[in-house]
Structure 1
């Protein structure tokens, strides 16, 4: 492996991951790179996990706070969670071991809007950031950093950390150089300045991460791929959801509420969101743009087809095949793709200004349009809110997509009252299931309930929802948003007790 550490004075700091991990102490807060399994450090977290186990075996306490951009991979979240040495975790995760620790109460999880974390750290509210561990593609001759397959909160970590450990990963393509746009002038109030962007493809920063080289205490050279997960083949449910959504976009264009090339698209992570992108590939839309968090396979396919002119995000979330394709052809893709810090990719002002069409998944929605995207049956954390709130609150049109049922029909995604609220009815414009689409804009609550039940609920659960609405209208203490508070969460209670929301099974 040829060294990618260009600055000669930094080469003396090259060491093993085990040596680098010694710079992290018990009680430290550690800012790690990584966003949706892209661009996370791959060697130092494993070495740190081994060190934590050694300390615990010797009867000595050792725990750290783990801060990232978003989710990472088993080599980071899983390895550290297994040791019992993660004290706190924020702002988002998707690791099964970490999830189990959170739900048993041994990891304090702070589920934060992704656009909010950077400012919270910069203002010192979350405490000191002791160490940053950041993966990069290379270090230039003058000490600047070429980012890898995600940026996330890396700029914040580099600015705020006392000590910096870099992993220079030669698996990452050198042709990523020039794809990134790092805004350097982020300030806290009252010194903030307007962000000079009016289009998704505008560049307002530089293609490198700048860093105080004096804070770099260790450099670890690696050659390991990102942990990429294949997308599931498109099923009929996903195709139906995508079809309803695209038909809605076509309708909005025909009514003059959207331009023929649409407005910038945001797509949440996952198979259904990727199905929507695949549906756009076969649609009549041309000249599309995207302002989102992650570049998924569907967006790469839209670029290849000439339908997507620019995609702005903070990270990749690609299948193994698409990641290999991106590595092999990054020089071409950087004409269409811009990766930014998540302080920019998820910035509410920019989302509102650009008029983003947001499309995110959910766990459940209720008959009035409140959305739960984080908790199973009210109490168990699944992954976290991620950036969905940044986009839902500020989008031109905020859409949520989901199959109408889960667990083989034992769970209805449309319920009388969500068991946890992440996005209120005020932030929900459209709900889509394979059954149909409910456009909630301009509707009072009772009319929203009628439309959601008619268009989105599975036929098996539709009569139960209609019965709830009728009963709630008789017992509620008002008719604006009628609820039967004694029975509003009856379905969830039945599932916990019997394993199904459907009575009599």
Structure 2
């Protein structure tokens, strides 16, 4: 027994990571904890990678299917990818080694909406879950589990897996107990009931995860940090994007389309998202609430300065400095931060009911408002759709944000036709770049094209985009709803592949 493992039954199952991975077999479907670099297992993936390499040295094939909440880290996705241990992966990945293996065809990748990943598991779409490997902060005397720095799909993995391996991470602050809300009211159709959450601050579940102790085959102790995300200093481009977005929200309040404390906000991950949050901090807004996936440094800033009263998420996604700030002031954040299961944080019904303002990044948008969030030049996956579709489709108001160019101006983020569609024009309301903001609400396709070109496209590409639209309109005068030149629609991408410049 120790301070982190006080359950007599599970205390007898403490073993090394090397012993634990003996319970994982070739071909197993393995569900691991982890969401955006937080709360993923630290020791078992490395030990499993070693086991796979040893098997391959003996001439034996050893791959697993790997399911998580979202991305993990180099010491989880990364080490397994380096060992060529993954045959199929879902639902989101940001590891560069695994990305190369997905794009080379070595790994099958299922890029599903995060709100779908757990329920598709319940429906049996992916087959039986053989093993769950879940990081927790502590095991209580009665066997309940104090969750870690993310919740993600952990409840589902623990419920559905035949065997469970628990990692108890002593690095995670014991004071995390009380920061979680794990909802156990989900049922399969046709027996589903409404989820009675009407306010981002509301608790509807338990503080703890549950597991059948008979399924637990191993408990591994670790003392390892999360993969904390370093954020770049705010640059001029990100600041301009944030200013456009904040000015727009202030105008919406002035027009009485939302209250002065806004509606609950959701923000994607990354430097631009943090810049937008910083812009909110510099604004006149106060009393805000967040209902989102990931709590980044920018939201800690808003909580600290009083702009934000409460944040609901499924995971932390902090920098090293953000982690230190959180740990140093963890008692002050209790009651202001709540981590929920992924099936709740991304639930379409709740997103629509709460009326979220959703802000997510994009790779490119086309002149009619279709958005590509996932693929470079049509074929190569970047990370995945994540939760952006969950939020955009059901938002009260959604924004897709990006610098107007990439690769030093060689790539335009606004193109005649996107090379891959994740969010159709029907689901996209506002596109923001450092050049300006295109409000697409209530506009027909041709008016959307003018708004996007004049407000969001980089000046170096505007004349070419105007020319494309004018020639498309002239070429087919009886097909003017969404005019396109089909032999040119993707020519910008082809030109980049051939010359390195659009």
| TM-score normalized with structure 1 length | 0.98
| Residues 1:33 and 2:18 are matched in the alignment | no
Residue pairs, 1:11-22, within 5 angstroms: 11-22=11-22
| CA–CA distance in structure 2, aligned partners of residues 47 and 378 of structure 1 | 36
Residue pairs, 1:95-494, within 5 angstroms: 95-476=95-476, 478-494=479-495
Q: Classify 1:38/1:455 alpha carbon distance in 2 versus 1 (closer, same or farther; 3 Å).
A: same
Quick check: 1:3–1:221 contact (8 Å CA) kept in 2?
Answer: no
Give the secondary structure class of the aligned counterpart of 1:166.
Answer: strand
Quick check: 2:9–2:213 contact (8 Å CA) kept in 1?
Answer: no
Match of 1:75 in 2: 75
Q: Which runs of 5+ in 2 are unaligned?
A: none
**1:229 deviation in Å?**
1.9
| CA–CA distance in structure 2, aligned partners of residues 243 and 154 of structure 1 | 37
| CA–CA distance in structure 1, aligned partners of residues 356 and 201 of structure 2 | 13
**1:335 deviation in Å?**
1.3
**1:97 deviation in Å?**
0.2
Give the secondary structure class of the aligned counterpart of 1:309.
Answer: strand
Quick check: 1:172–1:327 contact (8 Å CA) kept in 2?
Answer: no
Give the secondary structure class of the aligned counterpart of 1:87.
Answer: strand
Give the secondary structure class of the aligned counterpart of 1:168.
Answer: strand
**1:29 deviation in Å?**
0.4
**1:331 deviation in Å?**
2.3
**1:329 deviation in Å?**
2.3
Q: Provide Cα deviations, 1:125-180, integer angstroms capped at 9, x if missing partner.
A: 10010000000000011100000100000000000000000000010011110010
Match of 1:58 in 2: 58
Give the secondary structure class of the aligned counterpart of 2:259.
Answer: coil
Moved over 3 A (4+): none
Give the secondary structure class of the aligned counterpart of 2:420.
Answer: coil
Cα RMSD (Å): 0.9
| CA–CA distance in structure 1, aligned partners of residues 10 and 155 of structure 2 | 19
| TM-score normalized with structure 2 length | 0.99
Quick check: 1:363–1:413 contact (8 Å CA) kept in 2?
Answer: yes
Q: Provide Cα deviations, 1:417-465, integer angstroms capped at 9, x if missing partner.
A: 0000000001100000000001000000000000000000000000000
**1:84 deviation in Å?**
1.3
| CA–CA distance in structure 1, aligned partners of residues 332 and 137 of structure 2 | 17
Q: Provide Cα deviations, 1:376-402, integer angstroms capped at 9, x if missing partner.
A: 000000000000000000000011000
Quick check: 1:151–1:339 contact (8 Å CA) kept in 2?
Answer: yes
| CA–CA distance in structure 1, aligned partners of residues 143 and 2 of structure 2 | 17
| CA–CA distance in structure 2, aligned partners of residues 59 and 112 of structure 1 | 33
Give the secondary structure class of the aligned counterpart of 1:76.
Answer: helix
Give the secondary structure class of the aligned counterpart of 1:461.
Answer: helix
Q: Provide Cα deviations, 1:309-337, integer angstroms capped at 9, x if missing partner.
A: 11000000100111122123222212100
Give the secondary structure class of the aligned counterpart of 1:408.
Answer: helix
| Residues 1:497 and 2:498 are matched in the alignment | yes
**1:183 deviation in Å?**
0.2
**1:3 deviation in Å?**
4.4
Match of 1:94 in 2: 94
Q: Provide Cα deviations, 1:223-281, integer angstroms capped at 9, x if missing partner.
A: 00001021000000000000000000000000000100000000000000010001111
| CA–CA distance in structure 1, aligned partners of residues 246 and 128 of structure 2 | 46
Quick check: 1:281–1:302 contact (8 Å CA) kept in 2?
Answer: yes
Q: What is the aligned residue count?
A: 501
Match of 1:9 in 2: 9
Give the secondary structure class of the aligned counterpart of 1:303.
Answer: helix
Give the secondary structure class of the aligned counterpart of 1:190.
Answer: coil
**1:306 deviation in Å?**
1.3
Match of 2:84 in 1: 84
Q: Provide Cα deviations, 1:179-227, integer angstroms capped at 9, x if missing partner.
A: 1000011111111111111110111001000111111000000000001
| CA–CA distance in structure 1, aligned partners of residues 328 and 150 of structure 2 | 17
Give the secondary structure class of the aligned counterpart of 1:350.
Answer: helix
Give the secondary structure class of the aligned counterpart of 1:220.
Answer: strand
Q: Provide Cα deviations, 1:334-360, integer angstroms capped at 9, x if missing partner.
A: 210010000000000000000000000
| CA–CA distance in structure 2, aligned partners of residues 475 and 146 of structure 1 | 64
**1:2 deviation in Å?**
4.8
